[in-house]
Amino acid sequence: MPDTWETANGLDPLDPSDAGSDADGDGATALEEYTAGTDPTDPASVPAAPAIAVQWNAPSERTDGTSLAMSEIDGYRIYWAESGQSLQAGARIDDAYQTEYVIEGLESGTTYRIAVTAIASDGGESDRSETVSVTP
């Protein structure tokens, strides 16, 4: 953190340990507040939790290779979990044309695995997409 920022926010530029302090008690350290551009003395000024934007293409064919019309897709299910854990259904999207979802409230520096399925109008669910790993 720049000395000028520390001084302006009541921190000691000569004390490296104050980077881990939380003067406003909002759960974010001074370093996290500096990085996020939030006020380390205002409890209402909190860094946003990391998020991941997931995007996919609507399927155009079934697993057997036959054509699949958009009218046959009811929506999607997004699965995610921390690396090393089993994927869990985390969100259902009830719009065949919505092919993006933002997973919020994640932990910075933690690797997450994500996969998507399509849900057919008859309630059937496709196989999961290829799983991708992302670290916010």
Q: What is the pLDDT of residue 43?
A: 87
| CA distance linking residue 72 with residue 94, whole number of Å | 12
**Mean pLDDT in residue range 3-16:** 90
Average pLDDT of the segment spanning 108-118: 94
Are 121 and 71 contacting, i.e. CB atoms less than 8 angstroms apart? yes
In which residue are the tokens 């997450």 written? 112
Rounded mean pLDDT, 98-114: 92
What domains sit in the chain, N to C, each tagged with a CATH number?
3-36 (no CATH), 52-134 (2.60.40.10)
For residue range 36-56, list pLDDT tens digits in order: 888 988 888 877 778 899 999
pLDDT of res. 76: 98
pTM for the structure as a whole: 0.67
At 136, is the pLDDT very low, low, confident or very high (cuts 50, 70, 90)?
A: confident
Contact (Cβ atoms closer than 8 angstroms) between residue 112 and residue 100: no
28-31's contacts with Cβ under 8 Å and 24+ in sequence apart are: 30/1, 30/6, 31/1
